[in-house]
Structures are given as C-alpha cells and as structure tokens.
C-alpha cells in the first residue's frame, strides 16, 4: 500500500557498542537489523565503523581487528539473509595497500556494494589520516568479499529494481561537512535518499549546528537525509559521543532520537519519494549544475507491505502548529501584505482606499492590512473609505461589528444599503424577489462591487479586495463582483490561516480585541440570503462548499506537492479520521477537483496581490493553467480507491 503512494520506510540505528569488541558489536547490529525489519523498515543505516567502534585509534593497525571485522561482516550477512531489509554498516577495510573507512551495503545474504569515505578529518580532536586513506587514493573499483567481487567506490548508487525514483547514495561523516559533499553529486545523478554513517563527538553548540547542517543538505539536494552517529559506547579518553540520529526530508526534520543513551536506540519514518521528485521537477535550477561523474547503479528489491503510514501530515498545512513559529509567520505575512499595498499606494501617489466591510473575517483582515500600510506611509486613516453595505441577508451582529471596527481605527465610515438598488435591478431583469437562487445572490455581490468602484472613481481611490486563496481555489466568488478589485491583499492567504492572522493582530490591539474576537466567532457567510427568524445567519458557506479545513488540505497537497487525488484522499483519511468519514472526504475532494478546474477563468483575470507563501494562484506567476482543462483523469484516479 505504501509503495503505491511513493513511500519508503527508512531507519537509523545507534547500537550499544564496546570499543574493539567486534563479536559483541556484530551481535548487537544483527539484533537491531532484525528489530528494524519487524517494524517494517526497508532501508536502515548504522554509524561509522560500527563493527569495531570509531575510537579504536592505533588498534586499527592491528591485523586481528581488521580480520575480525571481515568475519563479523560475514556473520551479519549470513544472519540476515532471510530478511528483505537492506542494511548499511560501517567498518575498516584493507584494499590497495591501504586501509579505508567504509560503508557496506547488504541485503538478503549478499553484499551489494562498498562506499569509502572521501574527506578524512585531521584537525583539532580528529586525526583519521593516521589510519585511513581517502577514497581519492583508491585504485580498485571492486573488492573481494565473501568470495565475490563487490563494487567499490564513491560512484555507487543503489536503485530499486523497476523504480528509478527510489535510489540512494552514501557518504560518511566528514563528507557532509566539506564544501562540496559527495551527496551533491549523488543527488544530481538521481539519489532521492542519502545516508550518512557518522562519528560526530559532542562539544558545546555542535548538536544544533549538526542538525542545521543535515537539514540544509536535505533542502539543497531536495532529498531525504538519514544520519546515524556513534554513541556513548565509544571511548571517552578525549571526547564524548552522544549517538545522534536524524531523518530529514527536504529541509524538515521528520525524526530525531534521544541522545546520550547507553542502550541501542532506533528511529524510523516513511519518506515521501513522490513529493521529492515533484519538487525537483518544479525547481528548474536543480539541474542547472550538470553532473560531472559517471555512476554505477546497483539494483535492490523491495516488497510492498500492508502497513500503516508512520508519518503524519498537519490538519492545517498552511498554519504552523508551534505557537512561536505561528506568531513569526503571522508577523511576516502581515508585513508582506501591508508593504505590498504601501508600495502600490506610493507608486500611484494615491492616498485614499475603498473597502467593503462586512463584519466577516476576510474583510476584517484586509481592513487591518490597510491600516498598517497607512502607518508605514504616515497617512491619516481617515483616508480609508470603509463602506458597510447592508443587504437582504445582513444580520445585526455583523453590521454592528463592521461599524465598530471602522470607528475604532478612525477610518471614514460610509453606510450604503444595497436593498433598494437590488429591488430595482430585480424588477428590470424579471427576478422573483422570493426566488433565492444564484441570480438573487450574485446581483447583490455585483451591486456592492459597483458601489465600491464608483466611490473609488469619485474619491480618486483604490478599491482593495478582500477575497482569500481558498475562495479563489474553489471559484467561490462572484465574477466581476467580490472577485474584482484594484489590489487584493488576501489573494494568497488560505481561509484556515486568515483566522489565525486576524487573531494575532487582535491580540496586539487591546482596544479592538473584543470586536475582532466576536468577528472570529461569527460563522463564515456572504450573507446574501435572508437571516433566520431569530436574526441569525442562515447562509453558512461551509454547508454549501464543504469544510475549508479539508479544501485547504486538498489545495496544499494538490499544488505544493503535486499529489494525485487518490493519494490526497489516502492522506486525508489518515489525517481527518476522527473528524470526517471517508465518504465525506471523497465527496468534498470530488467537489474540490471539479470546482478547481472549472473556475480557472476567474483566476485568469484576478487583480494584483502579494504572494506570501509557496502556494499561490496568480495567473501571472504561480499557476499558468488553461481555463478549459479537462479534469477527467483526476476524477478517474479517485475511482481506483
């Protein structure tokens, strides 16, 4: 099941270790390989020189240690030959009259290849050149192990048979710290997963630096990076090792172990290969540097197992879960929005703006952005023409909130009812006043936009749009109505993020906090249909289009990751299993696909607006999509589930 959606389960193990005791270390490695296999791990790595210990020092010159390592390798190979798991272990290896620090790849009783370390540290507490030669000194490209010639070299990539996207390369410890790590070339030649067998000691600040290094290397190479470092079982004569293990994917840490453990520790997670490949396709600069080396591809096999996905995906992919990061994100977005508008005002020389205030979230955010832009430019907020336009569906709650919001910030309040104009218009076009259809709704939206545009002409002002990214994705906006403005500040803010942004701003404005909090508590609605008998909002958007939390999830993975609908459905079922049934998720996903494709014509002529995140629908930048694209194959993909 997981293979179908492009996942590979990888692991990193830091085994309990005794320096120089190969027999003990080998037994521990074998047990950990077996445990990883039971947990469904397909590719697992151990630390550098894990058969002997990294800190053997001059004991590496002892012939008995080198021979014991070879015998230990044979035992590992034979003891795991019935397992499907592919394992990578570290050991010293004699070849070409030299001793190399190598990673050995083995699976199903066979050694697939051997990768030597390239960069040999010889500074500060490191003096590896005393024992080991660099891979650049190697003469042979094969080595005799267990009676068979095995590929040897740094130009080895290991690729799944029948699937070129599942491909990995290996580097050792110092290699990744160099100015041009071997993993750069591995990735350019197709490696989507990178393994590092390491022995990195601990000094103050190194853990954080190491973590940042691994994270950044995974981002630079658009890959998964699996890192396992030597543990506290190493010698403490001069340094201490913590046994740091990390799994990163394209700039994000997916898993990290607890360091300084005296027993074996292991981490594993599922790598999303499809996401990595899609990101590489999008990043045209990725292959801007052409590969300079030729590689040997070594094939291995995997079995598709029916197991649950280990990794989780956030319910709100546009909203950081961590409060500190969320606040930082809100700060950045708010200032991108307000700076974009300030630049437009400064460029045009216009000091007045017009905005429709409904008492809802979107118009509140847009209004607050205008206020901030005026602060940046030193313009009196009286130049904000904030217009409330009560219609047939306006409730007293939203009406009063709109007025209080405007007055609290010192903007110019204009109140213009659209009822009379709409009644005349209904009469002119023969619309029954009691027929609450799309014409009834859209006529009100267009009337409001006409009022805003005409006031802008009269005042020499710019109309500021309030529509958000989620509405644009679904086309849930009236063409040439709320769809149109002269500058749209919310155009790349998804609905689920709007709420957090508005709350963040409210928390910094004590005088308006009560009003904004009530707006936050108001149901999402265009208020185009008459309210209930109790005066409450009768028309709730999510009853018609579905939950925005689902649509934002669909949108993110559809555009940001390029996932097919069946995979999005699979992830949504995992993520929302306690909130929505599989039937509901499929229903709204079909709705999303249909709306996304059929409403592109609205996005093709959308007004300017600032991009704030990786997902944007601007026809001038991020989404060049034909308005008449057929969605058949996307819906057909959902039939496979």
CA 142 to chain centre: 40
- Candidates 28, 48, 68, 185; catalytic one: 48
pLDDT at 539 over 70: no
52 pLDDT band, cuts 50/70/90, is very high
Q: pLDDT tens digits for 461-471?
A: 999 999 999 99
Pairing of strands 224-229, 245-249: antiparallel
CA distances to 77, 163, 223, 352, 564 from 581, in Å: 46, 33, 33, 49, 20
Is 587 one of the catalytic residues? no
- What are the pLDDT digits (tens) for 361-378? 999 999 999 999 999 999
Give the pLDDT score at 527: 53
Beta strands in 232-273 (DSSP E): 245-249, 252-256, 265-272
528 backbone dihedrals φ, ψ, rounded to 5°: -105, -10
Catalytic-residue membership of 573: no
Is 48 an active-site residue? yes
From 56, 167, 173, 422, active-site residue: 173
Q: Please report, for residues 243, 488, 528, 547, 553, the alpha-carbon distance to residue 524 in angstroms, rounded to integers and kept in the order given.
A: 50, 19, 12, 11, 18
- What percent of the chain has pLDDT above 90? 86
Say which residue, 236 or 307, is predicted with more confidence: 236
Q: What is the pLDDT of residues 130-175, one digit of tens each?
A: 999 999 999 999 999 989 999 999 999 999 999 999 999 999 999 9
- Counts for the chain of helices (H) and strands (E), in that order: 20, 20
Please check the confidence at residue 540 and state whether its pLDDT lies above 70. Answer: no
The CATH superfamily of 323-638 is: HUPs (3.40.50.620)
Q: What is the mean pLDDT of residues 208-225?
A: 98
Q: Where are the beta strands (DSSP E) in 480-569?
A: 487-488
The domain limits of the chain are 3-300, 323-638
**CA distance linking residue 43 with residue 40, whole number of Å:** 9
Q: Of residues 16, 32, 117, 171, which has the active-site annotation?
A: 117
The CATH number that domain 3-300 falls under is 3.60.110.10
Give the pLDDT confidence of 250-297 residue by residue, as tens digits. 999 999 999 999 999 999 999 999 999 999 999 989 998 888 889 999
């Amino acid at each position: 099941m997981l293979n179908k959606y492009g996942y590979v389960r990888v692991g990193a193990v830091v085994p309990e270790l005794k320096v120089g005791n190969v027999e003990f270390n080998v037994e521990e490695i074998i047990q950990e390989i077996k445990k990883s296999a039971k947990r469904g791990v397909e590719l697992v790595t151990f630390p550098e020189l894990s058969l002997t210990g990294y800190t053997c020092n001059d004991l590496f010159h002892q012939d008995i240690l080198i021979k014991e390592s070879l015998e230990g390798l044979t035992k590992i190979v034979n003891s795991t030959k019935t397992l499907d798991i592919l394992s990578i272990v570290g050991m010293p290896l004699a070849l070409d009259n030299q001793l190399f620090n190598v990673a050995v790849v083995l699976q199903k009783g066979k050694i697939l290849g051997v990768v030597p370390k390239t960069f040999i540290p010889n500074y500060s507490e490191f003096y590896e050149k005393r024992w080991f030669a660099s891979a650049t000194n190697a003469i042979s490209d094969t080595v005799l192990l267990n009676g068979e010639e095995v590929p040897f070299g740094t130009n080895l990539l290991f690729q799944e048979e029948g699937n070129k996207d599942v491909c990995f390369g290996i580097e050792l410890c110092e290699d990744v710290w160099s100015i041009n790590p071997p993993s750069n070339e591995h990735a350019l030649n197709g490696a989507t997963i990178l393994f590092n067998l390491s022995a990195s000691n601990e000094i103050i600040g190194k853990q954080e630096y190491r973590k940042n290094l691994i994270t950044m290397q995974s981002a630079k190479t658009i890959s998964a990076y699996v890192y396992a470092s030597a543990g506290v079982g190493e010698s403490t004569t001069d340094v201490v090792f913590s046994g740091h293990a990390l799994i990163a994917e394209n700039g994000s840490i997916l898993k990290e172990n607890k360091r300084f453990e005296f027993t074996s520790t292991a981490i594993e997670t599922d790598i999303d290969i499809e996401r990595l490949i899609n990101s590489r396709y999008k990043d045209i600069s990725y292959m801007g540097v052409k590969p300079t080396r030729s590689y040997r591809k070594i094939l291995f096999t995997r079995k598709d197992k029916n197991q649950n996905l280990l990794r989780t995906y956030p319910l709100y992919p546009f909203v950081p879960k961590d409060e500190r990061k969320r606040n930082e994100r809100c700060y950045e977005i708010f200032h991108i929005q307000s700076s974009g508008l300030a630049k437009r005002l400064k460029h045009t020389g216009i000091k007045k703006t017009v905005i429709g205030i409904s008492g809802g979230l979107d118009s509140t955010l847009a209004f607050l952005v205008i206020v901030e832009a005026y602060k940046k430019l030193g313009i009196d907020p009286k130049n904000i023409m904030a217009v409330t336009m009560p219609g047939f569906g306006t409730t007293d709650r939203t009406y009063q909130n709109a007025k209080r919001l405007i007055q609290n910030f010192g903007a110019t309040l204009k109140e213009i009812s659209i009822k009379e104009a709409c009644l005349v218009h209904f009469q002119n076009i023969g619309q029954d006043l009691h027929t609450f259809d799309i014409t009834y709704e859209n006529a009100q939206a267009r009337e409001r936009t006409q009022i805003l545009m005409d006031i802008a002409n009269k005042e020499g002002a710019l109309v500021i749009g309030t529509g958000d990214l989620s509405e644009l994705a679904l086309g849930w906006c009236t063409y040439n109505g709320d769809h149109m403005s002269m500058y749209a500040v919310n155009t790349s803010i998804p609905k689920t993020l709007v709420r957090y942004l508005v709350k963040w701003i409210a928390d910094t404005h004590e005088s308006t906090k009560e009003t904004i909090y009530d707006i936050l508590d108001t149901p999402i609605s265009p208020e185009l249909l008459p309210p209930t008998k109790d005066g409450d909002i009768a028309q709730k958007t999510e009853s018609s289009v579905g939950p925005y939390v689902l649509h934002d999830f669909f949108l993110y993975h559809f555009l940001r990751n390029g996932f097919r609908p069946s995979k999005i459905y699979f992830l949504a079922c995992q993520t929302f299993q306690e909130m929505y049934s599989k039937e509901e998720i499929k229903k709204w996903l079909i709705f999303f696909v249909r709306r996304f494709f059929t409403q592109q014509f609205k996005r093709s002529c959308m007004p300017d607006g600032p991009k704030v995140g990786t997902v944007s629908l601007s026809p001038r930048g991020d989404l060049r999509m034909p308005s008449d694209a057929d969605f058949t194959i996307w819906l057909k993909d959902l039939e496979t589930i």
